[in-house]
Amino acid sequence: MSKNVLEKAAFVFATVVIVSAVWFWSLQIESVLDLLEMAYG
Amino acid sequence: MDLLPFFEWLDTSILADIAKAYGGVFVVVQTFHLLALSLLGGTVLVGDLRLLGVVMKDVPSQVVIQNTQKWFSVALVILILSGLFQAAAVAMKLYYNEMFWAKMTGLAAGIVFVYAIRRPLLLRFDHDTINPWALRLIAVSSMTIWFTVAASGRWIGFS
């Protein structure tokens, strides 16, 4: 594959990864906060 | 694709018998799993932080990537083999654990990313000719993926 194709693939892949990771970890943190709220009010 | 038959097979395999019957063997394998995780994390951090210009600025980034890629592959093979052995002990429990699938998704994404994009781009081409933003995004997304794989693996124990 050419450098341009790999660079474009890197841009797309990295964007998808970062957006997905932010969404995924925000859900996990939210569930932990809900759990703490249930436990301690 | 339903992987339930594979997990049912793994749950009754000789690997599961050994993992369940011999706690000492399980612990030794787990030790190698954690050592390999440290090695993988180290190679990822050194390579990606060099791409971001944070560490080892006096060494060309291409040299750092060349030297860390081999150890990354070694660590990945040890991680997969030792992980398979550990998974055999609790195969059915893992099959129904959402966090396990999050980890596997991250692992699959990481392997595709490293061997289809990161490695070909960073090993074949001079880093001075690569778009600097591509290098930065590769570094950040690489650290994000492998952090997610490691942390979601730990999270399995809490979920």
Q: Which two tokens stand for residue B7?
A: 């997990």
pLDDT in tens, B84-116: 999 999 999 999 998 999 999 999 999 999 999
Rounded to the nearest angstrom, the minimum Cα separation between A4 and chain B is: 9
Q: Residue B105: exposed, middle, or buried by beta-carbon count in 10 A (0-12, 13-18, 19+)?
A: middle
Interface of B with A (CB under 8 A): 102, 109, 113, 116-118, 120-121, 124-125, 129-131, 133-134, 137-138, 140-141, 144-145, 148, 155
Number of H helices, E strands in chain A: 1, 0
Residue whose C-alpha is closest to residue B114's, from B59, B63, B55, B73: B73
Please give the residue range of the domain that contains residue A36: 1-41
Residue in A with minimal Cα distance to B147: A21
Contacts of B102 in chain A (CB under 8 A): 24
Count other Cβ atoms within 10 Å, centred on residue B115.
13
Q: Which amino acid, residue B144?
A: T
Find the DSSP H helices in B52-60.
Answer: none
Rounded to the nearest angstrom, the minimum Cα separation between B82 and chain A is: 26
Report ipTM for this prediction: 0.84
Q: Count of domains in chain A?
A: 1
Q: Find where tokens 């000789």 sit.
A: B14
- Contact at 8 Å (CB) between B51 and B94? no
| Cβ contact A1–B120 (<8 Å) | yes
Q: What is the mean pLDDT of chain B?
A: 93
The structural domains of chain B, with segments of one domain joined by +, span 4-158
Find the DSSP H helices in chain B.
Answer: 4-11, 14-21, 23-51, 61-89, 91-95, 98-112, 119-124, 132-155
Rounded to the nearest angstrom, the minimum Cα separation between A38 and chain B is: 16
Residue whose C-alpha is closest to residue A24's, from B134, B2, B103: B103
pLDDT in tens, A9-31: 999 999 999 999 999 999 989 98
pLDDT in tens, B9-18: 999 999 999 9
| Cβ contact A17–B145 (<8 Å) | yes
Question: What's the pLDDT score for residue B12?
Answer: 92
